[in-house]
Amino acid sequence: MTVVEERANVADAGTEAARRAMIDSQLRVSGINDLAILAAFLVVPREDFVPEARRAVAYADRAVALGDGQVLSPALTYGQMLTAAEPVAEESVLVIGNPGGYLAALAAKLGTKVMLVAATGDWAKAGEHSLVLVDGAIEDLSAAMAAVVAADGRLVTGVVERGVTRLALGRKVAGALSLTVLAEADFAPLAAFAARPKWSF
């Protein structure tokens, strides 16, 4: 994942203009064309989810460093997630992640009922949700993760495969959750979901 640290060209533009530029130059050109999703990106101020010192680079087409090892993924990553998720108004959505706030705000603008829990928090006790969004990439799909996805529900997450992060969609059918990898995507791996060490002799 490439993380932007320097001042972006959009720094001097108004924030609404910067959001429109992000939509036109990062999302639309990459196949994110759902009008409701684009409208959510337009009204949620991305700069509010980064430290003051990083506001100038909030709309760059890269991840933004937040400190303490956390990053805000590129807007395209969230656009890909929401497109794959196909959120339905009034459905229950669980967002798991560090930080997760921007993704949760976008989902809420789509009319969903959102609960946000940190990846390091007690998300396993969050109950069942018809849609679970993980703001980051996981290596280990645990039974606890499957338990928070309701019957016939969906999970949208990043996965780490051989050091490459990809977007994946999971569906829970007959009590089992299986993932289908959709495309490469720019996710930050979440340490809380790292694979357990494998012992060999």
Domain limits, the chain = 3-193
Q: Enumerate the active-site residues.
A: 73
What per-residue confidence (pLDDT) applies to 4?
A: 54
The two tokens of residue 100 are 């997760």
Place of tokens 């946000």: 116
What per-residue confidence (pLDDT) applies to 174?
A: 87
CATH architecture for residues 3-193:
3-Layer(aba) Sandwich (3.40)
Distance, in Å, from the CA atom of 78 to the CA atom of 90, rounded to the nearest integer, reads: 20
Mean pLDDT by 10-residue block, N- to C-terminus, for the chain (201 residues)? Answer: 50 76 97 97 95 92 90 96 97 93 97 95 95 94 91 96 93 90 93 72 51
Instruction: Find the farthest-apart pair of alpha carbons in the chain and give their distance in angstroms, rounded.
Output: 60
Q: Give yes or no for a contact between 131 and 151, defined as CB atoms under 8 angstroms apart.
A: no
